[in-house]
Structure 1
């Protein structure tokens, strides 16, 4: 049992550094926090957290080993992820200045939140993480190096549930901070320009995936 605790602490520490580093998940949560408000960002964060279970599942099924030993398959996976990031980025680049009909803060908040449905926010979060090659590499390394082959699958599932919960909690906390009135007010003064910048960031991440895979 002591070995499992050592594994868990190692996993939790490595995961903390991995989830805190900027990437597609961070970019999407940042965009949704500022553009659509706290509710949309929180739901997106939950989707990102559950996206972790996608990586846990294929790692437990041994598909992770197949991806690791089949370069063209991982490259295809990277291209799919790049295509999805370009899709999100182009959508952000088409952002236009908003002309709110009312002047009240509450009414403006309603208009912003209505700009994206809960279902769409959730699926964007889920797909952004589920198709993130950075997360794929993290879990391939995790299951190949950190977690012992002798560790029972039941314990690995517990590890995976923790990682999903911790990831969702991290991005929910980030969403809460980024969607505060002061932060949003600071960024949203030129909100559509911010959207376009985030679009360029997402497309830049997509190009980085493609170039690194060549």
Structure 2
């Protein structure tokens, strides 16, 4: 298989994976519907740089070494699962408080202040959600080790990294844009609290699943 075929296959598999529902997808949906386009785009930017770092670590073999060290990988799983659980509990707590008070967060806090004050926070949350996801680590280790041969040129590897990063940024930015159009925002406004709740459930379920797997793995080794 020549380098062009490798890059096309890499891009196709990665794009299909991007469209699959998961923490990254849920994070963009939650924040774009709640806070608008700019926050959604900064979330997308953070996610794309998390994916870029995962790709780079996989390409250089660092992620593979982590994956091959059971204790270290378990610690990564615990950190990632705990972070997703933190996001899940936060979203569910916010949903409960909103339903209890029967008022939307967007009515209590000016929309513009959220956009002005949370750019760095949105980027950081996107980056942390992706980089701390142990499932992403396993995915990129498998993707890179299967499709990118060690003999591939430095230029080819650089293009592969650019493809993975740019596809991620383009897809999540498009998702943020599509969910934050004025027409859709008006329709989603009354459902925002339920979207928060659904995303909170997704984060919580995935976080608990990852923590359970890591605990079981540690108990087996004891």
Partners of 2:154 and 2:208 lie apart in 1 by 36
Q: How does 1:1-214 map to 2 (within 5 A)?
A: 3-95=2-94, 96=98, 97-98=103-104, 100=107, 109-110=111-112, 113=115, 117-213=118-214, 214=216
In structure 2, stretches of 5+ residues that fail to align are 217-222
Counting matched residue pairs gives 207
Query: Per-residue CA shift, 1:59-80, capped at 9, x if unaligned?
Result: 2332122123222222221111
The Cα RMSD (Å) is 2.1
Query: Where in structure 1 do 4 or more consecutive aligned residues deviate above 3 Å?
Result: 111-114
Give the deviation of 1:188 after TM superposition.
2.2
Q: d(CA) in 1 for partners of 2:192 and 2:19? A: 24
Conserved? CA contact 1:56–1:157, under 8 Å = no
Contact 2:45–2:126 (Cα < 8 Å) also in 1: yes
Instruction: Summarize deviations over 1:120-139 as a string: whole Å, max 9, x none.
Output: 00001111111122221121
Structure with the higher fraction of residues in helix conformation? 2
Unpaired segments ≥5 residues, structure 1: 102-106
TM-score, length of structure 2 as denominator length: 0.84
Conserved 8 A contact 1:51-1:129: yes
| Greater displacement, 79-88 / 165-174 | 79-88
Scaled by the length of structure 1, what TM-score is found?
Answer: 0.87
